[in-house]
Each structure stands twice: as C-alpha cells, then as structure tokens.
C-alpha cells in the first residue's frame, strides 16, 4: 500500500533517500535569501506558506498580456502565436489578511544608499492612493540587493515623498529614511520573507496614530 503525504507525494520508507532529500531541501532554503531565487519567487513561496497555514490569502497577479493571434490545432490545446506584454494598471500583489485588504508592490535596487524613484510608475502611485482611500493596507517591499536588506515601506510615506520629488525634491528615498519609516524584514526559513510580521507592526502604528 502506498501512502501519500498531504502534498500528494507518495510516502517512502527509504530513509537514506528521504534524509538526503531533506538535507537538500534545507540547503536550498538556507540559500534563498542569498541567491538562486528572485524576490518574486521568494514572495510567491512566502504567500504559498501563508495560504497553507491559513494566515492570509495573497497572490501575485498574472502579467497582463495583449493576445493578437491564437492557433487552435486539432485535438490539442490552443497555442498563442503572437502576443505582447502590457503595462499593468495596478500593483503586483493583493489579497486579504485578518479582514483587511492588502495591496503591495515588490521592488529591488542595486543601490546601497537610496531607493531611486525610477523604480516606480505614476499609475502605481495613483493605485496606492485609491486603495488607501478605501481603507486598504498599502506598502512596498523594498530590497537593497547589495546589502541583502529588506524593508516594508508604507505607501503613505512613499506617496508623500513621490509628490515632493514631482515638485523638485530628491529623486530617491535615502536608506536612512527607509530604516526610520519602514519596517525591516529578516529572511528566515519559513516563510522565507515573513512580511506579515511587518504588516502587524504597520497596523499597530496606524492604530496608535488614530
């Protein structure tokens, strides 16, 4: 009789193999924060962890694509033969956590001292503004790649600095501002990016402010 793990994998009592697999998995996970996975992949894994543990239901939205030509070969799946990438009108991630609507964008920079505004688009800022107006929880997950440091940076702060730079202020957010007004997220085993801990701190701060 074959037993199956909840993930659908058959159970194997071959211990050597099993232990080896576990070691490989652990090694892979330890490296997550350093290389091998993009920030998007790390967040997808974290969201999957949060869904499995019924902590939150958050997904990355699919990339919007303009389809021009589709073939329907006999007896097989439709094949898209010509299509183009479209610019998204919203941010990349949204979902629900403890009755609240969460909406965020994930961005990386190779810069060590500041986060350049060229990483953002006007329509993303407007989307944040609209969601905040409806009472959504909005933020950016910022990664300073050379420093391997991650932050949750509130959209309210992002918007005020964005508006200032449109009016001539500095075209980037200094790391010191991110440290002061954001919430640092430390890579860990599972979820790799425990960003909901930072969301809890953001909500606490908002509740105090009200």
Closest to 178 (Cα-Cα) out of 151, 197, 155, 148: 151
Closer to its own copies by Cβ: residue 83 or 169: 83
Distance linking the first and last C-alpha atoms of the chain = 59
Report the chain's C-alpha Rg in angstroms.
21
Q: Which two tokens stand for residue 154?
A: 């509130």
Of 14, 63, 167, 207, the one binding its own copies by CB under 8 A:
63
* Distance (Å, whole) CA 14 – CA 21: 11
Of 8, 10, 135, 168, the one binding its own copies by CB under 8 A:
135
Closer to its own copies by Cβ: residue 20 or 61: 61
**Cβ-based neighbour number of residue 113 at 10 Å:** 12
Longest CA–CA separation in the chain, Å: 70
Q: Binding site annotation covers 92?
A: yes
Of 82, 163, 184, 200, the one binding its own copies by CB under 8 A:
82
Region from 11-19, 37-45, 83-91, 115-123 binding its own copies, contact rule CB under 8 A: 83-91
Of 104, 127, 153, 175, the one binding its own copies by CB under 8 A:
127
- Report which DSSP code applies to 64: P
Closer to its own copies by Cβ: residue 72 or 180: 72
What string marks each residue from 8 to 27 as x (binds its own copies by CB under 8 A) or -?
--------------------
Q: Decide if 78 contacts 72 (C-beta within 8 A).
A: yes
Does 156 bind its own copies (CB under 8 A)? Our answer is no
Residue 83, preceding peptide bond in cis (omega within 30° of 0): no
Region from 34-42, 133-141, 159-167, 199-207 binding its own copies, contact rule CB under 8 A: 133-141
Which residues line the annotated binding site for Mg(2+)? Answer: 90, 92, 105, 124
């Amino acid at each position: 009789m074959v037993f199956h793990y909840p993930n659908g994998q058959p159970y194997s009592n071959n211990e050597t193999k099993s232990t080896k697999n576990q070691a490989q998995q652990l090694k892979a996970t330890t490296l997550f924060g350093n290389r091998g996975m993009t920030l998007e992949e790390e967040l997808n894994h974290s969201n999957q962890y949060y869904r499995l543990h019924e902590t939150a239901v958050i997904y990355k939205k699919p990339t919007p694509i303009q389809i021009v030509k589709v073939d329907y070969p006999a007896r097989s799946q439709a094949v898209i033969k010509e299509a183009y990438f479209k610019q998204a009108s919203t941010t990349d991630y949204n979902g629900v956590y403890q009755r609240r609507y969460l909406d965020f964008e994930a961005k990386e920079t190779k810069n060590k001292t500041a986060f350049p505004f060229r990483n953002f688009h006007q329509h993303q800022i407007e989307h944040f503004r609209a969601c905040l107006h409806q009472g959504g929880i909005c933020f950016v997950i910022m990664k300073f790649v050379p420093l391997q440091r991650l932050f949750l940076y509130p959209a309210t702060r992002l918007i005020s600095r964005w508006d200032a730079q449109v009016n001539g202020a500095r075209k980037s957010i200094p790391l010191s501002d991110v440290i002061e007004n954001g919430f640092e997220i430390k890579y860990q085993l599972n979820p790799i990016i425990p960003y909901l801990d930072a969301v809890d701190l953001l909500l606490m701060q908002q509740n105090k402010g009200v």
